[in-house]
A and B are shown apart, each in its own frame.
Chain A
Amino acid sequence: MSTASHVSHRPAAGSRDVTLLELLDRLVDNGVVLHGDITLAVADIDLIYVGLRAIISSVSSLEERR
């Protein structure tokens, strides 16, 4: 889509990182699931999420509660 710019509507500091995280979040956790092999191991996905959460909550002083 030529108009897709992925510019954060309200760009914050590090908005490029925000966009990459958004992309990662969409691509690995959404989309059509086919009856095929997923090359990403589940363990990898968990690692991604640990990283994603760490970054998004990095300002937070609270420990994550799940």
Chain B
Amino acid sequence: MTGVLYVYALAETSEAALPARRGHRGAPLRHLSRDGVTAVFSRHRRIELPPEERYLWRHETITEALMADRAVLPVRFGTTVADEAALVTMLTTRAEEFRELLALVRGRVEIGVRALWTPDEPQTADAEPAGSGRAYLLGAVSVRHAGAHLAETLHAALAEQAVGARRRVLVTPRLLLSGAYLVERDGVDRFLAAADEVGRAHGDVELVCTGPWPPHSFAAGTPEER
């Protein structure tokens, strides 16, 4: 049979039924389990999804529905495999990795935190002769250093409240910190309160928290960045 399998998530194998939801384009959800790990997918003759809101939410809500009663590793949006045989090979060869990651995220959720700031304009024109590009660049570098330092301080304070943490620093000049924090499901309020404290202690940054999310940022075994 030709076609492809679109994979939404890997989950710990469970007695629980699959969520009563449809996959992309109305296709039924299917599952396949090996070695304690279940892949949840739908079958399509062919599928190429643009990263549009409805497709993103479809992928997300299926992952969230699974997460209601089992540990889940979200799979990257747009992932397809050729057939069931490819899925079986993937599950059996990487079973240990997946089981370890599932154990890490079980009972936990991800909270996203973005810290925005308005960087100081590098001091230039007033103090330097017009056209002093060097002074401007030195100023910009110093602003960036100050930002990176502040981002690491914020991240350390937030990571202290979490069991796992990931971060990117200064993705844009205004986006000081883009962090993901893995917290116990019943510890979300405590984490948000702590994030509030961190925000209050740094009046020059604006913290925006989102979630709880499935553990997207903790599903690929990248090393801890704590």
Contacts and interface: CB of A to CB of B under 8 A. Distances in A.
B192 A9 contact: yes
Looking at chain A's contact residues, the main secondary structure is loop
A43 interface: no
Interface in B162-187: 171-175, 178, 180
Looking at chain B's contact residues, the main secondary structure is mixed
B57 A34 contact: no
A26 B73 CA distance: 12
Interface stretch (B28-36, B152-160, B213-221): B213-221
A50 to B, nearest CB: 11
Contacts of A2: 68
A31 B77 contact: yes
Interface string A8-38: 1110100000111011111111111111111
B146 interface: no
Q: How large is the interface on A (under 10, 10 to 19, 20 to 34, 35 or more residues)?
A: 35 or more
A52 B78 CA distance: 18
Interface in B47-84: 47-51, 53, 56-57, 59-60, 64-65, 67-68, 73-82
Q: Ordered nearest first, which 6 A-B pairs have the shortest CB separation?
A: A9-B209, A27-B77, A31-B76, A57-B172, A26-B216, A36-B81
Interface of B: 4, 7, 10, 47-51, 53, 56-57, 59-60, 64-65, 67-68, 73-82, 86, 90, 98, 101, 109, 112, 114, 116, 118-119, 121, 140, 144, 171-175, 178, 180, 192, 195-196, 199, 206-214, 216-217, 219-220
28 contacts: A4-B64, A4-B213, A8-B208, A9-B196, A9-B208, A9-B210, A10-B208, A20-B56, A26-B74, A26-B112, A27-B51, A27-B74, A32-B219, A33-B220, A35-B86, A36-B80, A39-B47, A39-B48, A39-B79, A40-B49, A40-B51, A48-B51, A56-B171, A57-B173, A63-B173, A64-B172, A65-B144, A65-B173
